[in-house]
Structure 1
Amino acid sequence: MQRSSGLTQQLWERWMILVRRIQDDPRAARLMSTRIGQYLSCHPFSALTLLLFGAMAALPVGLFLTFALLTIVISVVGFVFFEAFLLFVGGSTLLAALTGIAFFSFLVSAVINSFFITIPNLLKRYPPLAKKGVNQEREGESETAGLKAM
């Protein structure tokens, strides 16, 4: 029993040293000079309740703030990746559309150029068709002129 009372006495002395050190701290002295500090020094039960609440609430508040910060960071990073994904899809779609338009333009240009090259060459190779068409027009003109003369 004496041993436990000796330990209790040592703990009490250490506790009092800690309390004096806290009271001598200038920040604590400033707090104790306010109305709240004076109220807490007159009502030790309320001070202990407030101290325990602050100590016990620190962990849940810290976890919540960490969760909120991580959620914001993940949302921002996710938004950036989603935007990058959308830009990639849009750019790929644009590239595919432009490639299709270029291919279509090339084909149409090739077809039209082939017509411009082949039709005059065909008309040059078959002179009877070209002369026949020209002669028919001249005959039509001469018949019209003959009818007018009458």
Structure 2
Amino acid sequence: MSLRYWITGDLGVGFDYRPVIDQLKFNATYRLVSEDPKGWRPAVLLGTSFDDFTSKGVQAESRSYFATVSKAMPRLKFLNITPSPYVGAVWIDRLNETRPLAGINLTHEEASLMVQYSGTDTHLALSRKINEKLSLSAIYWGLKYPGAALRYRF
């Protein structure tokens, strides 16, 4: 379960709660550079989170720090979809390891599909916008573990 509050349009802070292990961890995202919607300047994001990682068969919980570059591409009119690819890297503190990040978000007016590579696994998330504040997502972590998410914007 995650809670995030956007202090400004560029800075979001919050917490992730993991009920199975009863832990509450801080997360944050900062948009260093805003995307130019009419030009080719991409957005640059920096952030931190606390996640589960696997390295050489060993699972570790660790603080991580990431940087990504993303850009919404021109809308594919015949599909009514806007592709938004991103690339970046994540540094995993406990493992002292850097991994690549990459993905694409395919956005329709009311739904989106995100395909994400986290450096070791591929993840899928299919989201449906219910209204301006509420959305639901079906998630397939590592193409192994199903999950769900409810997002409420306030």
Q: TM-score with structure 2 length normalisation?
A: 0.19
TM-score (ref. length: structure 1): 0.19
Question: More strand per residue: 1 or 2?
Answer: 2
Q: Which structure has the larger Rg?
A: 1
